[in-house]
Structure formats: structure tokens, C-alpha cells
């Protein structure tokens, strides 16, 4: 395996993705990307022209908002593989320019999801919500505006990066707001069987006929395999076939999972293993 040097993430410096990169991969250079597509491309292109990275850290699920839909379309065709997972408790702070006070505030800026996850404090302070493209970008915009009547809802890391004051901490409505991130690599790295709890992620297609999914998944039940994710989405705008993204506990070389995958292939098409990686202890 090539020793990684850079890790790409979607968002501006100070975002939750950036915070996870700094926490989990402090030895790597974090590379901000404007979009998920750019983050995927940074790893796909390797050392060619343009920004490049060895790994990407991408959010895939959130305990409140559900799946991050764009990712499920990029993953199957990207040529990248999942090599790890990390969970991050989402915390938001209310940030203002130095010297600003709560009673001065009139508007609050953030990503639409963050505004929706912090309704209580917005209502309490009587603020007008303003949608920004990114939580960390909102902090940058507030710093550039230097207006004490404007605040940002952003991760705490953004305060130190953009020189803002934390006017209130932990303002999210729910204390279980957690995002699951996956680590993507060009290399298909499979840990050896028996090296701890594993997760196997894969995709498959089924024809849109009665009992197709029932038959495809029967092998997991009969072989005692715990399936932790099963999500469907249309492919290419067609209604005649459906693609599924699934995750199960176990290693493909485990006898039970090996039999279940063999049976899956019999009843489906385009089965592709996206990754085999250690299960995070935070799954509990």
C-alpha cells in the first residue's frame, strides 16, 4: 500500500468533514473540495493534473437527515473503494464577529440542513435565517462582512479558523445528531479475515419482477448474516431495474457470508464489492 499523504473532503476549512480529517488523520494534509464530485475526482486522478489526494473522507449517512443521496450515485462508478468508517457527533456553535453580542443579532447564516437542525435557538433569539452553501462557508462570509448583526451556525473549528467569537455553544436541537463518514481509496485494501469485526459494503441490481429482492436476500437470512443497510435507487432514470446499496457484518471470506454472496449473485446482476473494512467501535 502506498503511504497516503493527502486526504480530500467536501466543504470549506472549518467544516465537519474537515474536523474529522484533523481528528482521525492529523498526519495527512487536508484538501478542501467545492463538491463531492471534486473530492472523488481528486482521488481518482492521483498525481495527474489538478488537485489530487490519496484518500477522501465522505459523509454517507446522518442520524437525522438520512442518507447523503449524491454519494450513492458517485460510489458505484467512481472506481474508488471504502477502506474505513468514522462517526462524528455533529455540534454547532453560534458565531459572530469579535465583540458582537446576542442582542445585536438580526440574521443567522448557514447551510439549510444546519438551520433546520437549530430551529430552537433561531426562534428563541428571533433571528432571520439566511441559507448559505456550506456551514464553514457561512462563517467565512460573516468574518468577511464584519457586521455584528449577522451570525453563522457553524462547527466550532470554524471559529478559530476565521477569527470569530463563539456566542453560544452546542445549539443543535438534538443531542444524537451524528454523521457517518467513509474513507475512500483507489486501492482495494481488504484486511485479513479474523483481524476483528468487519463490514462489507456492496451493490447489486435486481430485475423489477415479483419476489426478486426476496430471493436475492434469502441467503443472508439462512446463513445468519446481519444486514445493517439496504437502500434502493433507480439507475439511469429507468424504472425497469433497481440498484441496491447494502452493508453486512462480516468478511467475504467468512463461510456464512461467502455462501450468502454466492446466492446473491445467482439471483442478481452486477454484484460489486465496494469495500471490506474494520467496523468502527462507535457503531455500538
Q: Is 77 a catalytic residue?
A: no
Question: Are residues 274 and 247 in contact, defined by beta-carbon separation less than 8 angstroms?
Answer: no
Cα gap 190→254, rounded to integer Å: 13
- For the chain, strand residue ranges (E) read 6-10, 29-33, 55-62, 66-67, 81-89, 93-96, 107-110, 128-131, 150-154, 165-168, 178-185, 198-207, 227-235, 238-249, 269-278
Q: How many CB atoms lie within 10 A of CB 38?
A: 16
- SS3 at position 198: strand
Question: Are residues 179 and 59 in contact, defined by beta-carbon separation less than 8 angstroms?
Answer: yes
241 Cα distance to chain centroid: 26
| Choice among 135, 179, 200, 268 that is catalytic | 179
Cα gap 202→165, rounded to integer Å: 44
Cα gap 104→190, rounded to integer Å: 54
Cα gap 53→45, rounded to integer Å: 8
| Choice among 25, 36, 92, 181 that is catalytic | 181
All cell numbers assigned to 52: 489530487
**Long-range contacts of 234-238, Cβ-Cβ distance < 8 Å, separation of 24 or more:** 235/205
Q: Is 92 a catalytic residue?
A: no
Cα gap 158→224, rounded to integer Å: 45
Catalytic residues: 179, 181
Amino acid at each position: 500500500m502506498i503511504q497516503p499523504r493527502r486526504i480530500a473532503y467536501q466543504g470549506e476549512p472549518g467544516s465537519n468533514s474537515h474536523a474529522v480529517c484533523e481528528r482521525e488523520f492529523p498526519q495527512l494534509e487536508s484538501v478542501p473540495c467545492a463538491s463531492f464530485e471534486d473530492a472523488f475526482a481528486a482521488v481518482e486522478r492521483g498525481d495527474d493534473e489538478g488537485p489530487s489526494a490519496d484518500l477522501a473522507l465522505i459523509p454517507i449517512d446522518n442520524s437525522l437527515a438520512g442518507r447523503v443521496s449524491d454519494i450513492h450515485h458517485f460510489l458505484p462508478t467512481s472506481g474508488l473503494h471504502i477502506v474505513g468508517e468514522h462517526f462524528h457527533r455533529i455540534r454547532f456553535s453560534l458565531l459572530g464577529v469579535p465583540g458582537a453580542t446576542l442582542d445585536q443579532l438580526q440574521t443567522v447564516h448557514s447551510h439549510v440542513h444546519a438551520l433546520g437542525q437549530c430551529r430552537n435557538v433561531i426562534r428563541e433569539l428571533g433571528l432571520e435565517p439566511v441559507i448559505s452553501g456550506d456551514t464553514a462557508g457561512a462563517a467565512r462570509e460573516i468574518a468577511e462582512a464584519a457586521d455584528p448583526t449577522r451570525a453563522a451556525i457553524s462547527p466550532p473549528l470554524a471559529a478559530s479558523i476565521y477569527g470569530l467569537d463563539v456566542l453560544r455553544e452546542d445549539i443543535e436541537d438534538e443531542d444524537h445528531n451524528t454523521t457517518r463518514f467513509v474513507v475512500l481509496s483507489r486501492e482495494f485494501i481488504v484486511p485479513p479475515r479474523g483481524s476483528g469485526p468487519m463490514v462489507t459494503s456492496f451493490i447489486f441490481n435486481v430485475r423489477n419482477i415479483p419476489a426478486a429482492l426476496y430471493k436475492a436476500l434469502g441467503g443472508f437470512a439462512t446463513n445468519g448474516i446481519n444486514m445493517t443497510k439496504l437502500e434502493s435507487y433507480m439507475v439511469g432514470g429507468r424504472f425497469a431495474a433497481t440498484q441496491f446499496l447494502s452493508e453486512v457484518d462480516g468478511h467475504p471470506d467468512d463461510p456464512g457470508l461467502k455462501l450468502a454472496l454466492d446466492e446473491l449473485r445467482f439471483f442478481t446482476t452486477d454484484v460489486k464489492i465496494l469495500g471490506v473494512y474494520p467496523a468502527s467501535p462507535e457503531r455500538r
